[in-house]
A = this chain, B = another copy of it.
Amino acid sequence: MRATVSASRPSNNGRQASLISAAAALFAAKGFKGTTTKEIAKAAGVSEALVFKYFPTKHALYAAILAEKAPLSELVGAIEEVARKRNDHRVFTLIASYRIRPGADPTMLRLLLFSALEGHELADMFFGKQHRVFYDYLASYIRTRIEEGAFRRMDPLLAARAFIGMVVHHRLLHEIFEVPMHCSHEETVAAYVDLFLNGLRRSKPQLSRRPSRGR
């Protein structure tokens, strides 16, 4: 509430926030089971006992982290504008470069993967609320463009997942498996967007899809 005591006493909210950010970094790096409450306390610069004053259990602290992070809204806002203008290239470039950018923080991706793998019930919430809606939003845009004749006919949700798949997989290789990038971020984004949009383009009225090499 009060923000009078600024530096000496970090005040309830400030402590909570610093504990959350310290814990998020550690959970992302080492997983839930791999992180001890003592480490969290040390990273936040307090005693271990204080952690349990603010969060009744280690799980509650983990839940607070997942509940707090909701970093997708700004992207959706930016997309909606160019989506109205039917600027397909810009829509997908925005999405891809939002994920693939120089200073991208792997924390959330790692946290999400750990949550899903370790099977926390919160992971469902985290994924369901944040990501599923985005897939659906993107799929509905693709469906609209198909109906407008801009894209060829295909399942819009599969198309959306295919594009997100390229991007997420790229982050997986780069940020989790530490595979070095051999192109710049811009080149990578451009390559994926071009490949995807070219794949969605309507071909000529349906020739034979096989390369006429029938054995």
- A residues contacting B by CB (< 8 A) are 30-31, 33-34, 85-89, 110, 113-114, 116-119, 123-124, 127, 132, 150, 152, 154-155, 157-159, 161-162, 164-170, 172-173, 176-179, 182-183, 187-188, 191-192, 194-201, 203, 209-211, 213, 215
A161 and B173 within 8 A (CB): yes
In the complex, chain B residues whose CB is within 8 Å of the CB of A132: 179
Please, which residue of chain B has its CB at the minimum distance from the CB of A157? Answer: B182
Give 6 nearest A-B pairs by CB, closest first. Answer: A165-B169, A199-B199, A33-B33, A195-B199, A165-B166, A198-B199
B192 and A158 within 8 A (CB): yes
A8 to chain B, nearest CB (A): 38
Q: Sample 27 A-B pairs with CB under 8 A, ordered by A number.
A: A30-B118, A30-B119, A34-B118, A87-B210, A87-B211, A87-B215, A110-B117, A114-B117, A117-B176, A124-B178, A132-B179, A154-B191, A154-B194, A155-B187, A157-B182, A158-B188, A161-B169, A161-B173, A165-B167, A165-B169, A165-B170, A166-B169, A169-B169, A195-B196, A197-B199, A198-B200, A199-B200
In the complex, chain B residues whose CB is within 8 Å of the CB of A33: 31, 33-34
A86 and B162 within 8 A (CB): no
In the complex, chain B residues whose CB is within 8 Å of the CB of A200: 195, 198-199
B191 and A87 within 8 A (CB): no
A128 to chain B, nearest CB (A): 9
In the complex, chain B residues whose CB is within 8 Å of the CB of A183: 155, 158
B195 and A154 within 8 A (CB): yes
Give Cα A118–Cα B30 distance, bound, in whole angstroms.
Answer: 6
